[in-house]
Amino acid sequence: MILEAIVLILQIFIFPGFLFLLLMSFFIEWYKRKLFARMQNRVGPKYIGYKGILQPIADFFKLLSKEVIELERADNHLIDLSLLMASSIFIYVCFFLPFAGRPLISFEGDLIAVLLLTSAASFMLFAIGWSMSSPYGMIGGMRLLAQVIGFEIPYFILALVPAYITKSLSIFEIGRRMSSVLLSNPAYLIPWSISIPLFLVATQIELEEAPFHIPDAEQELVAGYFTELSGRRLALLDLAKDTQLLFCSAFMASIFFGAGSPFYQNPLLGFIMTMVEILIIAFFIVAIKASAARLAISNVLDMMWKYLVPSSALILAISLLLGGV
Amino acid sequence: MLKLFGEILGNLKRRPATIDVPFEKIEVEEIYRGLEFLDIDKCIGCGACALDCPAAAIEMVEFKEVNRKLPIFIIGRCVFCAQCEDTCPYEAIKMTREVPKPFFSFEEDKMKIVPKELRPLEKRPQPKPLPPPPPAKG
Amino acid sequence: MSTFTMLLPFGPQHPMLHEPAHFRFEVDGETVVNVTPYLNYVHRGIEKLLENRTYVQGLYVAARVCGICNPSHTNAFVAAVEEAMGIEPPPRAKYLRVVTQEIHRIQSHLILLAVAAEEMGFNSLFMLIWRDRERILRLIEAITGGRVMQSYDRIGGVYRDINDILAERVIKELSEMRNRVIQYRKVFSEDPIVRRRTVDVGVLKTAEMVRLGGVGPFARASAVDYDVRRDHRSNHVAYDEVPFNVITREECDVWARLIARVDETLECINMIEYALKHMPSGAIRYRAPRAAPKGAEGIGRVEAPRGELVHHTISDGQRPYRHRIRTPSFANVFPAAKAHIGYSIADIPMIYVSWDPCFSCLARVTLVDIRSGTAKVISGEELRREARRRWEK
């Protein structure tokens, strides 16, 4: 009993809990920056650590030591609270994902819980922009809100497609059953394979990466909703964004590809398989980021409401028909 | 749809185009205008270079050993335009390929090129003038 | 009827602006209603500096008007001074001047294309164009001795000659560059996201452009068929002997301005190859007099990458009595301010970049030109009042 409690505490704080997720976020930031640079024929982080792998940690600590410049008119409590909420939510939802074969928390219906929590976190990011009274912050926040409202619906619907295919609402169960279900009912391959690129696009919109990096439209709005953040606030925001990238890649890997659930008895093999899938998905995210210009907000709204929503509803309808409602 | 996608993926297998200065050295071209070099055997101390320098970076200083004034180049002010090289009628100034190094102080005394091997002139050098322009057509 | 308009300042410090300038956009929702430019943040008093230096020294001061287009300024200065002195450079020097003018035009247009890609958020294209521009800078260093500040033209000729080995190297590198530029042209003209951001944005029709006095590729993209290289006969540079096409486009939008510059880059490569292959032999410099006669006037008109550049000099014997510079970016401010009106905030960076502002060129001591310039301004009484107030301070 005591041993189980100690193991649980170690799992929560070290692996696959806080420390592990923190280090994984930094690792995935390094991966993103290095890959992005190499795709552009540049070098990327190089000097801090082996091939620059400690660069994000160095950036984090440097930002922690800088002065926080607060605006008088801004609602500083709301900014700090929203930042804390956003970063902690993104770390928390990673507990539901099978990083080490078996997730820390898993219950029937945790898919819906995770989706709701990530919407709340995206809304927190908007709250940061809103509570700053500078025009850059507010316009950036409003653009982010328009994007968030638009991508949430196709994101939900497409996440329900594997849930329906495997007849389960728990991320762990979906991952475990996905390969067997696909092998036994090959008809399900159609909605499964079509929803993968659509889900990737929706993920790209959520992450605000190219071609959807509108809230961070550097040239027009300085930095959108995080213009006035400095010091430890910026460090926390960077951490939140990195954890968001980690979560989104891992989420997509878990519900579409299984991500380590087949090895739920073996943490090490589960971890390796999860990492491989995460890195492949992150590769595609970065590749699209590197080869696209920025769309205007009107184009993005068009794309979301005219194309993504109807097609995701169609895919869900197809999977419902195939499975027999 | 994404036109650059193929090239982006191709870039992954190429060596990065970044030159890792200062661990790698950059080779400057032959005609690069670096620090100035004064040929003692050709300079008669006329001071034409100091008159023509746009940045007032040449000072004519009397040197007893050679019994005439010689130009001293103040690197802090020099813009490396090579006008002194063009002006000198005796071709005594040349711009070398030596890249000026960064200085860590603002004192101009440390940023001077002073001629080192001081020998008196043995014989007067020959000036080499440029060809004059042809007469103007109307 | 009064509508509520929000004031969106693009202050002197802004990631969009590469040089300090202040633009006040009055926006109604997302649409720009009025633009007020505030300039002169980079005023360095170059025209006054030129009054206190001889012509030999003034060459280098005039070059430092602009970092990107400094060969154009050197060329225009030399043209004005050579006309005042009544001399002409040797034929080989005229061809060499064509080579350096065109090769710097390539790197200036590449800067603009990379900056336009960056404004669109296309970070990768920006990095790739910058990598290819590095090759051009190496070539410029090999030809002239300086990467950014070329200082190649001298009064009466040029600085150094190009030997055959160097000419071979230039032609080989430029043919590789040509393939890269054709690739970039394909990206700019066919990528759907790029097209969505630039087609039908910032449209300024031909009549409007002529009325407001735009110059350079900015005007040529609105079908104004004027190029100083072809239309102004001058005897200081060999453009009458090197064949080239003047690129004009009909679409009058941001896309046309970018494509016009890409096409001009390809034309430059052709011109350099022709000039290197048909270069006459001979001296590269004549001995120029050290001063122009008192009262002599000279005007140098040059096609800088951004448009028509004019240097006008009046000599008082030893130094210029007055040297006046009219840069293309200055002429383009007024049509550019008009081009923003009616388009949304999201289009501001693209329109801004498409007229290729070079604010270092922009800030001169002016009094005369502004009054005649404000008579053409359409952005309302406010611009006229503000401009007059600023310049009379």
Residues 41-80 of A with CB under 8 A from C: 41-42
**C179 against B123, higher pLDDT:** C179
Give B6→chain C minimum CA distance, Å: 12
Residues 203-222 of A with CB under 8 A from C: 210-211, 213, 217-220, 222
Q: Which amino acid is at C59?
A: L
- Structure confidence at residue C373 (pLDDT): 38
Nearest CA in chain A to C347: A296
CA angle C338, C342, C348 (to 5 degrees): 75
- Structure confidence at residue C268 (pLDDT): 94
Give A213→chain C minimum CA distance, Å: 8
C-beta separation of A39 from A292 below 8 A: no
- Structure confidence at residue A61 (pLDDT): 95
Whether chain B has a CB inside 8 Å of the CB on A299: the answer is: no
- Structure confidence at residue C275 (pLDDT): 94
CA angle A139, A303, A192 (to 5 degrees): 125
Round to whole Å and give the CA distance between A310 and A158: 11
Round to whole Å and give the CA distance between C234 and C301: 8
Round to whole Å and give the CA distance between C354 and C112: 8
Whether chain A has a CB inside 8 Å of the CB on B10: the answer is: no
Q: Show residues of chain C in contact with B55, CB under 8 Å.
A: 60
Query: Which member of A40, A218, A291 has the closest CB to residue C15?
Result: A218
Task: Tell me the pLDDT of chain B (138 aa) as tens digits.
Answer: 677 888 888 888 888 888 888 888 888 888 999 999 999 888 888 999 999 999 999 999 998 888 889 999 998 889 999 999 999 989 899 999 988 888 777 777 778 888 888 888 788 888 887 778 777 554
Whether chain A has a CB inside 8 Å of the CB on B12: the answer is: yes
- Structure confidence at residue C379 (pLDDT): 37
Give A39→chain B minimum CA distance, Å: 5
Spell out the domains of chain C, with CATH numbers in brackets.
20-42+336-391 (no CATH), 47-330 (1.10.645.10)
- Structure confidence at residue A270 (pLDDT): 86
CA angle B56, C44, C318 (to 5 degrees): 50
C-beta separation of A87 from A249 below 8 A: no
C-beta separation of A237 from A317 below 8 A: no
C-beta separation of C370 from C338 below 8 A: no
Residue B120: phi, psi to the nearest 5?
A: -70, 155
Residue C199: phi, psi to the nearest 5?
A: -80, 135
Nearest CA in chain A to B15: A41
Give A206→chain B minimum CA distance, Å: 20
pTM recorded for the entire structure: 0.88
Task: Tell me the pLDDT of chain A (325 aa) as tens digits.
Answer: 899 999 888 888 888 889 999 999 999 999 999 999 999 999 989 999 899 999 999 999 999 999 998 888 888 899 999 999 999 999 999 999 988 878 888 889 899 999 999 999 999 999 988 888 777 778 788 888 888 888 899 999 999 999 998 888 999 989 888 888 888 888 888 899 999 999 999 999 999 887 888 776 655 556 678 878 888 999 999 999 999 999 999 999 999 998 777 777 788 888 888 999 999 999 999 999 998 888 877 888 888 899 999 999 999 999 888 877 5
Residues 152-191 of C with CB under 8 A from B: 154, 156, 159-160, 183, 186-187, 190-191
Q: Which residue's entry shows tokens 């008007």?
A: C65
Task: Give the 3-state DSSP-derived string for A192-229, with helices as H, strands as E and coil as C.
Answer: HHHHHHHHHHHHHHHCCCCCCCCCCCHHHHCCHHHCCC
Q: What is the pLDDT of residues B111-120, one digit of tens each?
A: 888 888 888 8
> Is the confidence at residue C388, as pLDDT, over 70?
no
Round to whole Å and give the CA distance between B121 and B132: 29
- Structure confidence at residue C73 (pLDDT): 94
Round to whole Å and give the CA distance between A219 and A4: 53
Residues 265-304 of A with CB under 8 A from C: 290-299
Round to whole Å and give the CA distance between C204 and C252: 6
Residues 57-96 of B with CB under 8 A from A: none
- Structure confidence at residue C375 (pLDDT): 35
Peptide linkage before C305 cis (omega within 30 of 0): no
Is the reported ipTM for this assembly greater than 0.85?
Answer: yes
Q: What is the pLDDT of residues C247-280, one digit of tens each?
A: 999 989 999 999 999 999 999 999 999 999 999 9
Nearest CA in chain A to B8: A39
Whether B16 and A37 lie within 8 Å, measured CB to CB: yes
> Is the confidence at residue C195, as pLDDT, over 70?
yes
Q: Which site among B1, B8, B11, B14 would you substitute to test the A interface, given the most A Cβ atoms closer than 10 Å to its Cβ?
A: B8
CA B2 to chain centre: 48
Q: What is the pLDDT of residues A186-211, one digit of tens each?
A: 888 889 999 999 999 999 999 988 78
> Is the confidence at residue C365, as pLDDT, over 70?
no
Structure tokens at A40: 């552009």
Chains with at least 3 CB pairs less than 8 angstroms from chain B: A, C
Per CATH, which fold does B42-101 belong to? Alpha-Beta Plaits (3.30.70)
